[in-house]
Chain A
Amino acid sequence: MTIEVAVQQLINALSLGSLYALLALGLGMVYSVLGMLNFAYGELLTVCGYTMFLLILIGVPFPVAGLVGLGMAIGVSLLIERLVFRPLRGASFISLLFASFAASVIIQNLIKQLISKRPKVIPVPEVFDQMINIGPFQINVLSLIILLVGLVTLAGLVAFLQKTRWGLAIRAAAEDFEVTRLMGAKANRVIALSFALSGFVAGVAGVLWLSRRGAVSPTMGFIPILKAFIAIVIGGLGSLKGAVMGGFLLAFIEVALMVMLPTRAVPFTDAFALMIVVVILYMRPEGLISIKTGS
């Protein structure tokens, strides 16, 4: 492999990694505060995608549509929290999981009925497909954009979590929710905030995901949620740092397999990637960063 190809693949891996890290962070945020896996998270991307699709259809430019889509993802995330998860506060892990499963089915079917059952194409700005030359390397513009947006969002979120009072409340709730409440943080507000942030991250990830895929379909949320789920489990459930690391690790495994596997084995890439993930989990059952030991 030449050095050029290696650098291009490295950029690919980093760009995919920042996307996965975002997805994982959004899912991990709610998990660390409430201890629940929100399967309706993938549907936030779907909602964002369809909002953009409808807006672009009536002639709104791509960036504006993206922003409105982002807003919709936050809104729907808060709405799900209010309608489904608040009545179930304190229910068992499995109950919450199934409630989120059910919420995701309801959203999917609403989209099927109100908009369309079939996949729809979203026209993506042409710039995204071009290549630019940096020194001797040819790099896809979209990969760079995803990498930049991903890293900026991640940095912004980290700053928010580290520097503000609200961020402190979320980090404290992730460690011990009861004590956080005793310190005077309002439970409903912290939870709503974590859902809003989760929706925000899903919206950003949704815009980036769509720019890669260029199409929307009612079941498009399944793959992102799957990747996010895998990433937070490799990283160590409940750890926000672990979620980001898990996202990057998963992307590196996938890109490495894509490069190294022979053409005949390419359909099995996902299967191989998952096999590696299972091996990692077998070695470290608590994930990369265990919240119990904190190391």
Chain B
Amino acid sequence: MLKNWSRRRVTSAFHTFWMLALVLGIISVAAAVIDDRSITRLVTDFMTLCVLVIALQSFIGNSGIISFGHVAFFGIGAYSAALLTITPKIKAIALPALPVYIQQMQVSFTVAVLMGACLSLLVAIITGLALSRMAEGAMAMATLALLVMLHSIFANWEQVTRGTIGVYGIPRNITLFNTWICAAVVGGAALLFKASPTGLCLQASRDDPLATGTLGVSVAKTRFAGWVLSAILMGAGGAMWAQNNLAFGPNQFYYAETFNLLSMLVIGGICSVTGAIAGVAVVTLVGELLRGLENGLSIGTWVTLPELPGIVQMSIACLIIVVLIIRPQGMLGLNELSDFVYKRRMTKKNT
């Protein structure tokens, strides 16, 4: 089993892993030192988004198939974390129809994240068996179908999800430390998958499915593996997100969120885990800078800009078009962090 692993790929994945973990660690430590509530919130949001976008990357980037359905796994993770961490008192009032053993259960952050991952693993296996056999275009449509189906379940299964009213009262278990650990672990898993033989086969099927099939690789099986892995990561991300956001409704797992996550991935670079993180960073920064404009702004006493609702979303959409025209592969293209360091070392040796 292990002999098929490429030593060079694993080493470079490991290099990227520790550098990314270091960068994310520095951000967390900086936030801990500043110790400001809004900054801490910004950093935990950022790390959670990193987990979600990396999860998305591990499927879309390696398989080249666009998935609209991953936000459904995000929702599964979030709802399972909500059901498992809300205090029994609130659950008795808000969700009286739940089975008693779930009502009295209250688990820690780690268990909730793992349970979210397990539940979405289950759904991913069921859906993946059907999905992975389809042609690329049909598969993209089927993932959209998955999103709509699960949304209608979230919105109508009132005994468990409270329908469109949404759930509340999730304890804020998230800290700078545990989000950092989660982001690093998920990033590591995605990098390792990308370097693994299965990941390599999946990338081959992205570039040419027909040729990959003729080499004796089962395209359906590798796609299934990618689908399941990214669903696990997405479920974990959803569980983290729930414990960061504390209250949510079914409409948060739909079209808008799908666009949001996909746009970060496209801006950063679909094929690169580093790109996913860079995309989240850019979109978060643009969002923070322009949020002021959204509520109107006065410069001096003379110039007052009017309120511009939706300016953030619109600028991000423009940014996508510009990035796609200038760099069709996203900001980082195919490069990971270690590629930049390596290349520089190589050119130094040559000169």
Contact = CB atoms under 8 A, between A and B. Distances in A.
A268 B156 contact: yes
A161 to B, nearest CB: 22
Contacts of B325: 87-88
A285 B64 CA distance: 18
A95 B329 CA distance: 8
Given A106-B318, A113-B308, A282-B130, A97 B328 contact: no
Given A109-B310, A285-B133, A101 B145 contact: no
Q: Is the interface of A mostly helix, strand, loop or mixed?
A: helix
A105 B145 contact: no
A56 B324 CA distance: 39
B133 A275 contact: no
A108 B256 CA distance: 12
A44 B107 CA distance: 48
A230 interface: yes
A113 B309 contact: yes
Residue among B133, B137, B311 facing the most chain A CB atoms (10 A cut-off): B137
A237 B324 contact: no
B334 interface: no
Contacts of A106: 314, 317-318
B135 interface: yes
B321 interface: yes
A117 interface: yes
Contact of A105 (B134, B142, B259): B259
Interface in B105-144: 130, 133-135, 137-138, 141-142, 144
Given A106-B317, A109-B313, A88 B66 contact: no
B317 A105 contact: yes
B134 A281 contact: yes
Residue among A93, A99, A102, A108 facing the most chain B CB atoms (10 A cut-off): A102
A278 B138 CA distance: 9
A32 to B, nearest CB: 12
Contacts of A110: 314
A95 B137 CA distance: 15
Contact of B321 (A94, A102, A274, A278): A102
A64 interface: no
Q: Is the interface of B mostly helix, strand, loop or mixed?
A: helix
A281 B144 contact: no
Interface string A59-91: 000000000000000000000000010011001
Contacts of A287: 138
A76 to B, nearest CB: 16
Residue among A108, A109, A117, A222 facing the most chain B CB atoms (10 A cut-off): A109
Contacts of B133: 282, 285
A98 B323 CA distance: 11
Nearest to A35: B137
A237 B137 contact: yes
B242 interface: no
Interface in B37-94: 60, 64, 66
A261 to B, nearest CB: 13
A106 B321 CA distance: 10
A217 B309 CA distance: 16
B103 interface: no
B130 A274 contact: no
Interface in B308-351: 308-311, 313-314, 316-318, 320-321, 324-325, 328
Given A92-B328, A229-B141, A271 B318 contact: no
Contacts, number: 110
Nearest to A292: B135
B324 A98 contact: yes
B145 A112 contact: no
Contact of B310 (A88, A113, A229): A113
Nearest to B319: A102
B159 interface: no
Contact of A117 (B145, B255, B309): B309
A226 B144 contact: yes
A277 interface: yes
A270 B200 CA distance: 37
A103 interface: yes
A176 B139 CA distance: 24
Given A101-B262, A102-B318, A117-B309, A271 B137 contact: no
B30 interface: no
A233 B138 contact: yes
A281 B145 CA distance: 12
B152 A270 contact: yes
B149 interface: yes
A286 B134 CA distance: 8
8 cross-chain pairs, A with B, having the tightest CB-CB distances, nearest first: A233-B141, A102-B317, A274-B145, A109-B310, A105-B317, A102-B320, A109-B314, A237-B137
16 contacts: A92-B328, A101-B317, A103-B321, A109-B313, A112-B310, A230-B141, A237-B137, A267-B155, A271-B149, A271-B153, A274-B148, A274-B149, A275-B149, A285-B134, A286-B138, A287-B138
Given A106-B314, A110-B314, 18 more contacts: A88-B328, A94-B270, A95-B328, A101-B263, A103-B321, A105-B259, A105-B314, A109-B311, A109-B317, A222-B255, A233-B141, A237-B135, A237-B137, A270-B149, A275-B145, A275-B149, A278-B130, A285-B133
